Amino acid sequence: MAKQKTKFVCQECGYESHKWMGRCPGCQEWNTLVEEFEAPSPKKGTRNHTWSGTTTVSFPEPITSVTSTKEERIDTTLPEFNRVLGGGIVPGSLVLVGGDPGIGKSTLLLQISSLLANQGNKVLYISGEESVKQTKLRADRLGVSAEKLYVFAETNMELIEKAIDQVAPTLVIIDSIQTVHDPNITSAPGSVAQVRESTALLMKYAKTRNIAIFVVGHVTKQGAIAGPKLLEHMVDSVLYFEGERHHTYRILRAVKNRFGSTNEIGIFEMREKGLAEVKNPSEIFLEDRTEGSSGSIVVASLEGTRPVLVEVQALIAPSSYANPRRTATGIDHNRIALLMAVLEKRIGMLLQNQDAYLNVAGGVKLDEPAIDLGLAICIASSYRNHTTYPGDVVIGEVGLTGEVRRVSRIEERIQEAAKLGFKRAIVPAKNVEGWKPPEEMEVIGVSTLEEALDYALIDSSSAWYR
């Protein structure tokens, strides 16, 4: 009998080695190499192009002769979820859903399962972490009940395949991929080999049976999907469920989507009966805003095709440390350092001995350059202790020379601001031309950061402030 070979595999990046090492050469992480049994390689001459038992032969062909068809999509009747996926669930797709523990991944997928089952679609919910009775208790709490929603507690991939063949569902939920295992692989569940092989089998089930499969993935302390990046490369779409534990709002974001855009987000609110859609997120994010205080301004960000108005806040205070602190929540830390350098060099503000704390209200994460002007005005407002007019919305990108640069889709941003009752918008001068703003909105075009500060900041001696 041939001796079984072993190898050491990094559980973070998938790097393989024939000997153990304390530090992985691939990802530079410590104590991540785990011993696994090496699967036997197939004999020579046995490789063929088989897919679900059927031999297929394909040849290269010109792209002009390939007929393109529009993907059929399953409507979940949940517009926020459909938006993130690009219009609905594509049959035969494999979708990975990640997020922090307790954020609401299982709750969302159980609600989606109920909505599809109520439309007459068979849905198979496979839980590797909960028993059938535990899943039933959660379903009762959420008010989920449908005859065509099947629940199965199993982690063996062979038994899962039999269950899929028996039920013949439209949608399969695997909760979670780190708990299932292939009995032909000797590694423990959750290891790199098991996650890779289980995902490959699920991809085969999805493509050959034309079934949509959603897989829940655990995340690491850094917020990334646990396991090697190969897992994200294998699936068709990767969705991240984000949110602060102390906030009720959750954001579903696509970071990979072969059937739609990756710029769309869906916003939900966690309630007693589960997750509910937030149809007007701008109004929700601004409902607790305090008027008449320094260091606060509203910016119009663009998330995919949707303009979202959020409040950004800044607190600038003298530092008692040799190296002042720069803390940012929901904003790129490097962008804050860049804007403070521009304010110090071009405007003359002495910020090198000041601590800076910036925050995006509501737990939203903003990463587009159009919020630069609002952040700069926030920092200047707190530093000078000058308030900003509560009816202002600010849009614009700031360059290193202090210029305010053009942004995209200015009309939609202004329309959203006018809908929420804002009276004035400070925008790049280049964006003012070629369109007509709403009658109730005053649009001011600025070319430099200094000009924007003159319009936005209100001195305490002004009539409005008194």
Instruction: Please state, in angstroms and rounded to a whole number, the distance separating the CA atoms of residues 275 and 348.
Output: 48
Known binding residue 324? Answer is no
Known binding residue 265? Answer is no
Instruction: Please state, in angstroms and rounded to a whole number, the distance separating the CA atoms of residues 130 and 106.
Output: 11
Cα–Cα distances in angstroms (integers) from residue 135 to residues 24, 157, 276, 356, in the given order: 39, 20, 20, 46
Half-sphere exposure at residue 262, Cβ-oriented, CA atoms within 13 angstroms:
9
pLDDT higher than threshold 70 for residue 44: no
Over the chain, what is the mean pLDDT?
Answer: 87
Other C-beta atoms closer than 10 Å to the C-beta of 437 total 17
Known binding residue 347? Answer is no
Instruction: Please state, in angstroms and rounded to a whole number, the distance separating the CA atoms of residues 193 and 187.
Output: 7
Q: What percent of the chain has pLDDT over 90?
A: 57
| Inter-residue contact 14 to 192 (CB < 8 Å) | yes
Amino acid at 265: I
Instruction: Please state, in angstroms and rounded to a whole number, the distance separating the CA atoms of residues 103 and 242.
Output: 7
Instruction: Please state, in angstroms and rounded to a whole number, the distance separating the CA atoms of residues 384 and 294.
Output: 9
Banded pLDDT at 221 (limits 50, 70, 90) = low
Known binding residue 101? Answer is yes
| Parallel, antiparallel or unpaired: strands 171-175 and 212-217 | parallel
Q: 219 pairs with which residues across the strands?
A: 225
Domain spanning 284-458 has what CATH number?
3.30.230.10
pLDDT higher than threshold 80 for residue 371: yes
Residue 339, SS3 per DSSP = helix
Would you state the pLDDT for residue 378? 95
Would you state the pLDDT for residue 313? 95
Instruction: Please state whether 20 falls in left (phi above 0), alpha (psi between -120 and 50) or beta.
Output: beta
Would you state the pLDDT for residue 298? 95
pLDDT higher than threshold 90 for residue 69: no
Would you state the pLDDT for residue 2? 53
Would you state the pLDDT for residue 394? 97
| Parallel, antiparallel or unpaired: strands 237-242 and 326-329 | unpaired
Banded pLDDT at 147 (limits 50, 70, 90) = very high
Residue 270, SS3 per DSSP = strand
Known binding residue 102? Answer is yes
Known binding residue 88? Answer is no
Least trusted range by pLDDT, from 321-325, 332-336, 445-449, 457-461:
457-461
Tens of pLDDT, residue by residue over 278-296, are 888 888 888 878 887 899 9
**Domain residue spans in the chain?**
6-37, 73-279, 284-458
Banded pLDDT at 7 (limits 50, 70, 90) = confident
Nearest in space to 332 (alpha carbons), one of 303, 352, 312: 312
Under DSSP, the state recorded for 323 is: S
Known binding residue 103? Answer is yes
How far is C-alpha 124 from the chain's CA centre? 25
Known binding residue 99? Answer is yes
- The correct answer on CATH 2.60.40.10 for the domain covering 73-279 is no
pLDDT higher than threshold 90 for residue 249: no
Would you state the pLDDT for residue 53? 45
Banded pLDDT at 466 (limits 50, 70, 90) = very low
Would you state the pLDDT for residue 48? 43
Tens of pLDDT, residue by residue over 339-361, are 999 999 999 999 999 999 999 98
Would you state the pLDDT for residue 47? 43
Contacts 24+ apart (CB under 8 A), 71-76: 71/259, 74/116, 74/121, 74/170, 74/171, 74/212, 75/119, 76/112, 76/115, 76/116
Would you state the pLDDT for residue 157? 94
Would you state the pLDDT for residue 279? 83
Nearest in space to 218 (alpha carbons), one of 230, 210, 226, 208: 226
Would you state the pLDDT for residue 54? 45
Q: Is 362 exposed, middle or buried (0-12, 13-18, 19+ CB in 10 A)?
A: buried
Least trusted range by pLDDT, from 244-248, 267-271, 462-466:
462-466
Would you state the pLDDT for residue 223? 55
pLDDT higher than threshold 80 for residue 55: no
Would you state the pLDDT for residue 162? 95
Would you state the pLDDT for residue 408? 93
Q: Is 233 exposed, middle or buried (0-12, 13-18, 19+ CB in 10 A)?
A: exposed
